[in-house]
A and B are shown apart, each in its own frame.
Chain A
Amino acid sequence: MSSNKTETLSGAQIVVRLLERQGVRTLSGIPGGAILPIYDALSQSTLIHHVLARHEQGAGFFAQGMARATGLPAVCMASSGPGATNLVTAIADAKLDSIPLVAITGQVPKSMIGTDAFQEVDTYGLTIPITKHNFLVGSAEELLDVIPHAFRLAASGRPGPVLVDIPKDVQNQRIEVSEWPEPGVAVPVPVADTGRIASAAAMINEAERPILYLGGGVVHSGASALAVALAEKASLPSVMTLMALGAMPVDHPLSLGMLGMHGARCTNLALDECDLLIAVGARFDDRATGKVAAFCPQAKIIHIDIDPSELDKVKTAHVGIMGDVRNVLEQLTPQVKAIIRAPWLTRVAELKTNHPLRMPGIDDPRTPYGLIRAVADCLDDEATIATDVGQHQMWVAQAYPLRRPRQWLTSGGLGTMGFGLPAAIGAALAEPERTVVCFTGDGSILMNVQEFATAAEEDANVKVVLMNNASLGLVFQQQTLFYGERIFASKYKGMPDFIKVAEGFGWQALDLDQASDPLAALGKALHSRGPVLIHVSIDMREQVLPMVAPGAANKDMIGG
């Protein structure tokens, strides 16, 4: 507690002051009756820039974009009832991808809770299963404890979303405040068990065909460089989950890129042969493992994770280590022998040569892979790459040369269409010096298209690359492959004029279909400042390959 002169403040003013003290400088939301006291207090803040979203889900994903780009908790706000329910998807998405988020919602006055008051919804009850923790605040005094607590929880251990629901009378309640709590920051996790780390080191030293399996936890804990150092010292071919892309540069000689449902053949085949799997901050998600019983069938498993409930959840580890992966790797790597595993590296090189990721059309910017490559060629590693959800997401995950942790923003666990545009805007708000590219599809973009208005208003430096296949491509692909080509509800009959849509919102727009020199046009669009839409038509029949059928073993890949 730091002392100060005594002031009489409302709950709303206390919230704003605590957010300022927390270091929050940008937050997003939409006002409404039950949160107006906080908005009134916010109007007096000279430190906080409020970004007015056009839909609360947009506000939730702006905050996610900020949090994913920086690693720090970010804030979104909504009013009671529909405001709060509109936030739900973005909160659930943050939970599944372990993103630190603090959501603040207004609630009807305490005396009216439970009466079906206007715009009353049980926000607390609704958000129990999708938050790390949530609070229904009972008094203005409690705010002094709850707000820093919310930030501490969001950031500590395995990060995640925290919701604070504040009844309107609590926002209006005036109390004397003479002491302010310290801002909530991540509390360190207990140091990992040294005996287990020693066992893990021994297993790595004895293994003949080990693979390092990096998950999003590596990015969250800022351990990417340490993971690469471990891989290099112990000659560990390395695979990454969708969430970990960028932790090791994909063109690093030891990188096998993304594993799982849309991983390259060589990647999944190498996993099939490994005798030791070292899982670091990864959770054996079904999209990564395929049929679990057939995942790395010959391998012993070392599992390092900050969340004890992840250990043995899906696969029983031979050595499970609970700890912050950064701390564990710091201890583990010195105990690992520096060796060159010539036979295993030779075998992996052979798999890479014989079963590489095939990227047809890579030289043609009007094909999926070619377009992604052309965009990458215009940019450096400082650019941030966001995606929506669908085929375009998987093509980018496979083909974009991601080389920097936090360069990559994608909805992994929840797979939320509509994530891309607002997350990209959020990242651009948090790091205005960067170019943020969002690859999207004609289905996903319409799910949060209203945020074009916010991007224009904020002059966010986002470039949306719209891969328009006139369909819900990933659904179309699954119906083609697994449902006897019965294409249903996945082809669009009507199509908006996306160029006009973008221009109508005040964006610049480029139709690559019409460009006589597409590469030059693309470069110019990507390098111009402010929001730009780049529209490209893609053949509806293009598929993301290889593909592991849901529930099948990873070694049984289709195509590619």
Chain B
Amino acid sequence: MNANTKTENQALSRTVLELDVNNHAGVMSHVVGLFSRRAYNVEGILVMPVGNGETSRIWLMVNEEARLEQMVKQVEKLEDVLAVRRHGATHEVFERMEEYFR
């Protein structure tokens, strides 16, 4: 454990989820509510509208846990979630944001 760098630790334990969603006021609540009710912390979150603004993209960074499979299925069930894609923890979207969190 000690030998791992910070990024390597994250690579072992984190997942990045990319969600395409309808863009309206309640969508974020629907998504994060699924996590909060299960006491499943969302480590990172980014949202921006896409194209003409009818849809948005939400990027979530979450810990890799046994419950993740179930979490993803629950997210996919939301009516306003159009697609869910999974990426490794080193996805550059959060890495590029790091400079704003120093």
Contacts and interface: CB of A to CB of B under 8 A. Distances in A.
Nearest to B73: A309
Interface stretch (A128-136, A274-282, A327-335, A547-555): A128-136
B97 interface: no
Contacts of B70: 309, 312-313
Given A128-B33, A129-B33, A309-B70, A136 B25 contact: yes
B69 A129 contact: no
Nearest to A162: B79
Interface string A57-72: 0000000000000000
A133 B37 CA distance: 16
B26 A128 contact: yes
Contact of A133 (B25, B33, B79): B79
A132 B80 CA distance: 11
Contacts, number: 28
Does more than half of chain B's interface fall in helix, strand or loop, or is it mixed?
helix
B74 A309 contact: yes
Interface residues of A, number: 14
A125 B73 contact: no
Nearest to A132: B79
Given A124-B26, A128-B26, A128-B29, A308 B79 contact: no
B74 A128 contact: no
Contacts of B79: 132-133, 153
B85 interface: no
B87 interface: no
A437 to B, nearest CB: 36
Contacts of A313: 70
A307 interface: yes
A125 to B, nearest CB: 6
Contacts of B30: 128
Contacts of B69: 312
Given A128-B29, A128-B30, A129-B33, 12 more contacts: A124-B26, A128-B33, A129-B37, A133-B78, A133-B79, A307-B77, A308-B73, A308-B76, A309-B70, A309-B74, A312-B70, A313-B70
Interface of A: 124-125, 128-129, 132-134, 136, 153, 307-309, 312-313
Interface of B: 25-26, 29-30, 33, 37, 69-70, 73-74, 76-80
* 7 cross-chain pairs, A with B, having the tightest CB-CB distances, nearest first: A309-B73, A133-B79, A128-B33, A309-B74, A128-B29, A308-B73, A129-B33
